[in-house]
Amino acid sequence: MDIRTRYLQEMGITQWVSRDPGLHPTSEMVVGQNLNIKAKDFIQTDQVMTDLSAQVDICRQCDLHRTRYTTVFGVGPIPADLMIVGEAPSAEDDRQGIPFVGRAGQLLASMLFSIGFELEDVYIANSLKCRPPDDRDPLAEELAHCNPFLLQQIQRIQPKVILTLGKVAVQSLLNTSESLAQLRNSGQLREVVGVPLIATYHPAYLLQSPAAKSESWKDLCRARQLLINGSSG
């Protein structure tokens, strides 16, 4: 079984054929290790993001600074066509300072791979830069304090599409209380600071609810369509 077939099967997709010959990645990904190397490279070459990352490192605007081991700023190329926004660092992310390490990161890699991207092609960040204790849900005031960092990242990265993972990320970015189901199914294309946004499930949820992978696959296809044609329809 080739790598692509294995990843598509993990996504719950049995058949998918790309019409774009440019969308056929050929190499295996090493989750975490690659991101670490890339993050260092990119941070060294972008002064604006270096300065922003330094601000995050010393940020004490909410109580999460008391319990974090380290901040988790974000990783990826600058600029990047596709930006991923998750919720908050996991325990492992908090230890390593890198978003989406561990099983959720591996599934995210599979999700991206299934639409022709590798992890190092995309910029990955979270709504919160510090881990909430015991992985509790982020509080509204924590998100309000941290959101300006994320907006500055978006403006610097200049993505063509933002893919949000889970309800917290999309609700926070759009400042809405609409449910993830409403946001996914409305058919209305949302934007944040002028960038089209597609909402889908968080990989951690998909690990617990594999039946939702096929719905997530539709969201990924919409994101890919937007990137290629500038339209999700």
| Residues near ligand SF4 (CB under 6 A) | 56, 59-62, 64-65, 71, 128-130, 142, 145-146
Instruction: Give the Cβ contact number of residue 34 at 10 Å.
Output: 15
**In the β-sheet with 190-192, what is the strand arrangement from edge to edge?**
123-126, 82-86, 161-165, 195-200, 190-192
Pairing of strands 123-126, 82-86: parallel
Q: How far is the CB of 220 from ligand SF4 (least distance, A)?
A: 28
- Specify the residue, 94 or 120, whose C-beta has the smaller distance to ligand SF4: 94
Q: How far is the CB of 95 from ligand SF4 (least distance, A)?
A: 16
Q: How far is the CB of 184 from ligand SF4 (least distance, A)?
A: 26
User: Which tokens in the block code for residue 201?
Assistant: 């499930």
Instruction: Give the Cβ contact number of residue 79 at 10 Å.
Output: 13
- Specify the residue, 56 or 112, whose C-beta has the smaller distance to ligand SF4: 56
Q: What angle do CA 119, 180, 87 make, to 5 degrees?
A: 45
- Specify the residue, 50 or 61, whose C-beta has the smaller distance to ligand SF4: 61
Q: How far is the CB of 63 from ligand SF4 (least distance, A)?
A: 8
